[in-house]
Amino acid sequence: MITYVYDGSFEGYLTTVFEIYNRKKNPDGIFTTSTYMPFLMEEKYEVSTNIERAQRVLAGIESKGSKDIAAKIYNVYLSEHPAMEMLLFQYIKLILQKGSAIEHDYRQPEILKVKEINKQIHREVHRMHAFVRFQKTTDNLYYATVTPDFNVLPLIGEHFEKRYSDQHFMIYDSKRNYGLYYDQQQTMMVECGAEQLERQSEFVAEEKVYEALWKNYFQSVNIIERKNVKLHLRHMPKRYWKHLTEKK
């Protein structure tokens, strides 16, 4: 039984792929330092993250495969799917062996699975585009808290930056304890201390006014004669409600 353990970063994962090829020893399991549990009779290899090696793997994927395939692999990594490491290893192996065309052979279980997870990721990204609700703080920051199913913050910055290029905003993932912060110049990943989070819960007076107007609007466009709760819930699952002004 051969296991590889890496630090949980994407670069760490790509370094792991490098090491597997380098050592010519296929893994029976790939874990992060936090998911790893020791097995009896195992041969364990601890990977130390190496940016240069990670980049070589990425370059290999992009040249044998494509930029698009590399992006799909990153998305699967962000999915935090429990078996994601081994799935991606099989997938990368296929791509490196057979080239980019193989990504459309959906008869192969790994290819189908990567496609499925990408679909879930895209849906979650789309939900974040839709369900982020900013509140204006006394520091003139438009602030939103989210708890997405997957770690999609790295995928949504560009969308909000294009749209709100003239306003400071922060989208904070309270499940993973970090946020995207845009200062009208660039978007960056930030962590917030308790004090800062406190400050970000003080809103300007007009905030209440617009929240009330929005709730009123939401009620007023509903057509009672067409009530369809099942459809409503399918589009807006309950777990998102806690961050939605109109459903709170």
Partner 1 sequence: MDRINQKLTVLANAAKYDVSCSSSGSKRKNQDKGLGNAEGMGICHSYTEDGRCVSLLKILLTNHCIFDCAYCISRRSNDIQRAAFTVQEVVDLTINFYRRNYIEGLFLSSGIFKNADYTMERLVRIAKDLREIHHFHGYIHLKAIPGASAELLTEAGKYADRLSVNIELPSEESLKRIAPEKNYEEIYTPMNFIREEKQRYTDERKSIKSTPLFVPAGQSTQLIIGASPENDVQILNLADSLYKEQQLKRVYYSAYIPIPTDSRMPNLALPPTLRENRIYQADWLLRFYKFSVHDIVNDLHPNLDYDIDPKLSYALRNRHVFPVNINTAEYEMILRVPGIGVKSAQMIVTSRRFGNVHFDHLKKMGIVTKRAQYFITCPGAPAASIDRHSSQVRQLIQSPELRKKNSQLILFA
Which stretches of the chain bind partner 1, using CB under 8 A? 102, 104-107, 109, 112, 126, 129-136, 142, 144, 162-167, 184, 206, 209-210, 212-214, 216-218, 220-232, 234-236, 244-246
**Least distance from C-beta 200 to partner 1, angstroms?**
15
**Least distance from C-beta 220 to partner 1, angstroms?**
4
Distance CA(152)–CA(176), nearest Å, equals 11
**Rg (Cα) of the chain, in Å, rounded?**
22
Nearer to partner 1, 190 or 213 (CB): 213
**Least distance from C-beta 53 to partner 1, angstroms?**
32
Pull the structure tokens for residue 46.
């601890």
**Least distance from C-beta 97 to partner 1, angstroms?**
13
Helices (H), 99-152: 109-131
Nearer to partner 1, 21 or 131 (CB): 131
Nearer to partner 1, 54 or 95 (CB): 95
In contact, 53 and 13? CB cutoff 8 Å? no
Distance CA(17)–CA(233), nearest Å, equals 41
Nearer to partner 1, 195 or 225 (CB): 225
Choose among 29, 32, 101, 35: nearest CA to 64: 101
